[in-house]
Amino acid sequence: MRFEAAEPLNALARRALGFVKDDTAVGLGAGRAATAFVRALAARVRAGLRVRGVPVSEATAGLAAELGIPLVGLEAEIDVTVDGADEVDPDLDLIKGYGGALVRERIVAAASRRQIILVERDKLVPQLGSRGRLPVEVIPFALPLCLHRLAALGLRPTLRMVGERPFVTDNGNVLVDCAVEPIGDPPGLERTLRAIPGVVDTGLFLGTADTVLVADGTSVNEWSRQR
């Protein structure tokens, strides 16, 4: 069963390797699909591919280093970033952040020439918010204010916990998971949330993905944004 579950992710990883050029810097995402890609990329590195990785999280950095991928920072010119997503709509807009790395994911994507998103078919939604959850990263000092403002917007915010402690991001912030219905105006909601003092970022990634690779079993379909 574990093998069957891994196969769509491995198919996505193999397809994504086709976007990686020799002697370039590659953004390394977080999550299950991105981890499969990191492992596949490491195998190519061992076979002689010359790349440097720019990880979006400390966990990704640890895995890449363990597997022998040389790491660099944002001083590198990133040719392509390969990452996952929690929702993808028909316009290739995304919700990210279920894994907690959304701020660094956005920064690395912004520093890249191209962002490739890897998802299984169940992540496709007709409208962002369809899975009912939108992560928001918040400075701890501002948490009471942010919870109040988010609740006033009808978003039913919940502080993300790990056991009895708040989940803390690699940036030292906390995550608030907002309960959402399908979002009619994602850009408008993004502006509203970012205007709340103490909100660092949201899981709405609008216009960042250039290509989305979608696994349906072991077959992979490719969608590209029309620029």
Alpha-carbon distance 108 to 79, whole Å? 11
Place of tokens 């906390």: 174
Element (H, E) at 136: strand 133-138
Whether the Cβ atoms of residue 207 and residue 1 lie closer than 8 Å to each other: no
Q: How far apart are CA 157 and CA 180, in angstroms?
A: 9
130 DSSP 8-state letter: T
Q: Which DSSP category does 78 fall into?
A: E
Q: Indicate which residues carry an active-site annotation.
A: 105
In the structure encoding, which two tokens stand for residue 57, read together? Answer: 């999280």
Instruction: Report the DSSP pairing between strands 115-120 and 165-166.
Output: unpaired
Nearest by Cα to 55 from 21, 118, 95, 105: 105
- Lateral strand order in the sheet of 219-224: 51-55, 24-28, 78-84, 115-120, 211-216, 219-224
